[in-house]
Amino acid sequence: MENISEKLAPTKKEDRKTSIMQIALKLFSTEGFYTTTMPAIAKKVGMSVGNFYNYFSSKDELAKEIMLYISSVLGEKLREINRSDKSVREKIDMIVKMYFQIAQERPELIEYFLRIFLSNREIFTKACTGMICVSDFITELTLFFDNGVQSGDLKDQDFFSALGLFMGYLGGMVFLNGEEVLTKPLNEYETTIAENIYNALRKQ
Amino acid sequence: MENISEKLAPTKKEDRKTSIMQIALKLFSTEGFYTTTMPAIAKKVGMSVGNFYNYFSSKDELAKEIMLYISSVLGEKLREINRSDKSVREKIDMIVKMYFQIAQERPELIEYFLRIFLSNREIFTKACTGMICVSDFITELTLFFDNGVQSGDLKDQDFFSALGLFMGYLGGMVFLNGEEVLTKPLNEYETTIAENIYNALRKQ
Amino acid sequence: MENISEKLAPTKKEDRKTSIMQIALKLFSTEGFYTTTMPAIAKKVGMSVGNFYNYFSSKDELAKEIMLYISSVLGEKLREINRSDKSVREKIDMIVKMYFQIAQERPELIEYFLRIFLSNREIFTKACTGMICVSDFITELTLFFDNGVQSGDLKDQDFFSALGLFMGYLGGMVFLNGEEVLTKPLNEYETTIAENIYNALRKQ
Amino acid sequence: MENISEKLAPTKKEDRKTSIMQIALKLFSTEGFYTTTMPAIAKKVGMSVGNFYNYFSSKDELAKEIMLYISSVLGEKLREINRSDKSVREKIDMIVKMYFQIAQERPELIEYFLRIFLSNREIFTKACTGMICVSDFITELTLFFDNGVQSGDLKDQDFFSALGLFMGYLGGMVFLNGEEVLTKPLNEYETTIAENIYNALRKQ
DNA sequence: GATGAATGAGCTTTCATTCAT
DNA sequence: AATGAATGAAAGCTCATTCAT
């Protein structure tokens, strides 16, 4: 019974969980994980602390579920791009554009990934063994590279070298944008960056 | 007599400060800023908590001085490379090599920069207005780009786009290395990465 | 339902606050503000330190609320005397009697006023701007003087000169009583003192 | 040898002690006893903390010696008045004037007496058993009353009732002056207050 | 599901005093 | 006499989590 309803439609409880996560995500990414308290989250959600623990068993568990949620959102976007009938060069454009668009519209997703997930190992090593919290996203990125290599467009280099370039570069730019040191709006860098990335990855 | 020795050599108190910073740096970068307690630092230093505050007025102040220290170390390394009589292509090699070497030999310097400084804005916005905590390092990197553009080797692109590529890419790789997901030792990626960066930045 | 009970009777939390204040008041006035610790208060209340802060946001805030409480108790007593149908001479008797009675029965109220409130400016200047922490009490005393002047019984002198006499004299006696240097019980001084005050304030 | 020099002229050490006490007195009376730290005093004196303890064995000891000093200063002033060839009425004038003059010129003496000595029993009960820290001053005041009663000018009332009036009233006024709630300069209250006191104490 | 008072360990920081130099 | 680094107990306060209602 329960299994069916879970698969067909989100339950009321799942909806509530998601809306809690949105709020916690925003708090964590703007205020930091350790500086955001459980009462502060509960208050912003409009819920008592006690009841909060009916939805998430701990602060770490909440952090983990948020990361899973972000990974699924980004993974889904990448999946669409992968499935599209475009050239590798165009797909890179699309990925950069997509990433920056999210950074503009829902900056908390990227900030959380960069500032909370990547920087607080102690929280996620327990909850997210391996890379399972970001596997959705990583899977799609791997697919993109493999396809590019198979089609002969990209160099057959170590996956992680390419991943480091992609994520480091884009993350670095979003970070600088967040620091407000960039002289232009983020999206105006799209063309240059996509070009830089393509030049770095393509078969010379 | 005393005046002379003070100018020529660091005082005993300054020495002690530096050695405290080394220890705190290691703790912060492995355990995280908030999860590293003052008693834990004091204990590892072999000093009472009270005495600790004769050297650093607060935990935040300590965090700031550590960042200044790291910036000066990295800045000094870059300065040497900038002053060397090498081509831009070779300098990129040297920078990548230097960065990875530090990441291997003193990983805490890079980890601190990535995980503590970049990710805990709330700590540093008070103590390090603007970018003064990293200005040593940033200054030298700017110099490198400017020289490369003037010599006609590099594209005259936005400084921050180039900075994002450099720091994001290198930081991303070091991060992945720290996560132990890389299949090869970090230094084996040097050639590929330097090449990728050069391809991304050079005049095509 | 709840609204009604809230208006008619103090809530459980308010009751608890008051009983905490009573205990803290006693500790502060016997041990001093700085020598009374939060753990000591919590222990005497039979409560954890953490929970204490659910009732008062800080030690200073607690000190302030206690002063407000004392001022309201004294103000209420004065109000009754002011409203009574007695001569000025008799009212002075009543005030002196009332003051000494409180000093005997609940000495902590007076001690707190003299030793904590008046003597630790640094605590109250932040929390009690102006005289708002004692306005209840001051208001009634002003009323007493004004009435006495209007009825022609008292000299029309500066309010503060009269206030200084009243509070200084009574406070001084209570202080001496607390020091156990008085040769007689406090109440045996009532007649003399009331007479002294009347002689000092009346139209000669 | 030492005894002689001590009696004839203050030693260098005693001079230093006195000048330290002046500075500590000012700090205590403006900042409070517990909020003034030993390092803060030492710094203002221009001396190391360590050396400080060569002059005063503890903070409490310092507090006690300061009170003895103040008592001797006030006692000396009273002694002069007692010895003068004036009527009781005039002497009251002189005492009030003297008290307010000190309150204006060296307010820290009065503030210390009111706010530190009278309000922090826990400090002085150990160091100043009985009233030995203020005996200089009390002795002279007793003399004044006794003389007044013997000459037939003052009522033969309990000493402490009279003391309470005097010190409470004057202290109260100085306190109000310190609170900056008085509408006139302190000295303009002199006549009224001396009159009030005389009316309260004289044989009617 | 929902509330929020309650817990208590642990945090950063302070400070009178000591002591090697 | 003089220095100031060193001590360590204890302060005020926080916060994830629990539990009686």
Report the top-level CATH class of D7-57.
mainly alpha
C-beta separation of C25 from C66 below 8 A: yes
Cα–Cα distances (Å) from C145 to A88, B45, B82, C121, C204, in that order, read: 92, 67, 84, 27, 16
Q: In this complex, do B32 and A120 lie within 8 Å of one another by their Cβ atoms?
A: yes
Residue B161 has pLDDT above 90, yes or no: no
User: Is strand F within 7 Å of residue D16 (CB)?
Assistant: yes
Query: Any residues with CB less than 8 A from the CB of C107 and at least 6 apart, and which?
Result: C29, C174, C178
Picking from A169, A175, A171, A177, the residue whose alpha carbon sits closest to that of residue A197 is A169
Cα Rg of chain A, angstroms? 19
Q: Give yes or no for residue A141 having a pLDDT over 50.
A: yes
Interchain contact, B196 vs A35, CB within 8 Å: no
Residue D116 predicted with pLDDT over 80: yes
Estimate to the nearest angstrom the gap between the alpha carbon of A6 and the chain centroid: 24
Mutate to test the interface with D, among C99, C119, C188, C198 (most CBs of D within 10 A): C119
Query: Chain E bases under 7 Å from protein CB?
Result: 1-20
Give the pLDDT of residue A8.
Answer: 58
Which residues from the 31-90 window of protein chain D have CB within 7 angstroms of nucleic acid chain E? Answer: 34-39, 49-50, 53, 58-60
Contact: A31, B199; criterion CB under 8 Å:
no
- As ranges, strand F nucleotides with an atom below 7 A of a protein CB are 1-20
pLDDT at position C180: 75
Domain extent listing, chain A: 7-57, 59-201
* B32-46, B110-124, B168-182, C40-54, range with the lowest pLDDT: B168-182
Task: Tell me the average pLDDT of chain C.
Answer: 89
pLDDT band at D9 (very low <50, low <70, confident <90, very high): low
For B172, the closest of A122, A171, A197 (CB atoms) is A171
Residue B38: CB less than 7 A from any atom in strand F: no
Q: How far is the CA of D35 from the C1' of E4 (A)?
A: 36
Alpha-carbon distance of D58 to D55, in angstroms, equals 9
Q: Which nucleotide is nearest to C47 (CA to C1')?
A: E6
Mean pLDDT of C92-102: 96
The single-letter DSSP state of residue A113 is I
Instruction: Quote the pLDDT of residue B177.
Output: 82
Least CB–CB distance from B164: residue in A31, A176, A184: A176
Block residue for tokens 């995280």: B32
- Reported as a single tens digit per residue, the pLDDT across C148-182 is 999 999 988 888 778 878 888 898 888 778 777 77
Mind telling me how many Å the CA of C46 is from chain D's nearest CA?
25
Instruction: Answer yes or no: are the C-beta atoms of C82 and C140 closer than 8 Å.
Output: yes
Q: Is the CB of B59 under 7 A from strand E?
A: yes
**pLDDT score, position D4:** 43
CATH of domain B59-201: 1.10.357.10
Which chain A residues are Cβ-neighbours of B164 within 8 angstroms?
A: 169, 172-173, 175-176, 193
Query: Of C107, C56, A102, which Cα lies nearest the Cα of D121?
Result: C107
**Three-state DSSP class for A57?**
coil
pLDDT in tens, B118-144: 899 889 988 888 788 999 999 999 999
Selecting from C169, C182, C201 the residue whose C-beta is nearest the C-beta of D165 gives C169
The answer to whether A199 and B169 are in contact (CB under 8 A) is: no
Q: pLDDT digits over D17-48, tens only?
A: 999 999 999 999 999 999 999 999 999 999 99
Nearest amino-acid residue to E10, taking CA and C1'? B37
Tell me which of B168-182, C12-26, C64-78 is least confident.
Answer: B168-182
First to last CA, chain B: 60
Percent of chain A with pLDDT over 70: 95
**3-class DSSP string for chain B:** CHHHHHHHCCCHHHHHHHHHHHHHHHHHHHHCCCCCCHHHHHHHHCCCHHHHCCCCCCHHHHHHHHHHHHHHHHHHHHHHHHHCCCCHHHHHHHHHHHHHHHHHHCHHHHHHHHHHHCCCHHHHHHHCCCCCCCHHHHHHHHHHHHHHHHCCCECCCCHHHHHHHHHHHHHHHHHHHHCCCCCCCHHHHHHHHHHHHHHHHECC
In terms of CA atoms, which chain A residue is nearest residue B120?
A32
Q: Pull the structure tokens for residue C2.
A: 């709840």
Q: Is the CB of C53 under 7 A from strand F?
A: yes
Phi, psi of B202 (to 5 degrees): -70, 160
Phi, psi angles (nearest 5°) of residue A152: 85, 5
Determine the protein residue whose CA lies at the shortest distance from the C1' of F12. C38
Measured between beta carbons, the chain C residues lying within 8 angstroms of D163 are 172, 176
Average pLDDT value over all residues in chain B: 89
- DSSP alpha helices (H): ranges in chain A? 2-8, 12-31, 38-45, 49-52, 59-83, 88-105, 107-111, 121-127, 135-150, 159-178, 190-201
Contact call for D122 and C168, based on CB within 8 A: no
pLDDT score of B5: 41
CA distance D147 to D141: 10
High-pLDDT (> 70) share of chain B, %: 95
pTM of the model: 0.89
pLDDT at site A139: 92
Give the residue on B whose Cα is nearest the Cα of A34. B34
Half-sphere exposure of C124 (CA within 13 A, CB side): 23
Q: What's the rounded Cα separation, in Å, for the pair A141 and A78? A: 7
Q: How far is the CA of A180 from the C1' of E14 (A)?
A: 38
Amino acid letter, residue C15: D
pLDDT of residue B6 exceeding 50: no
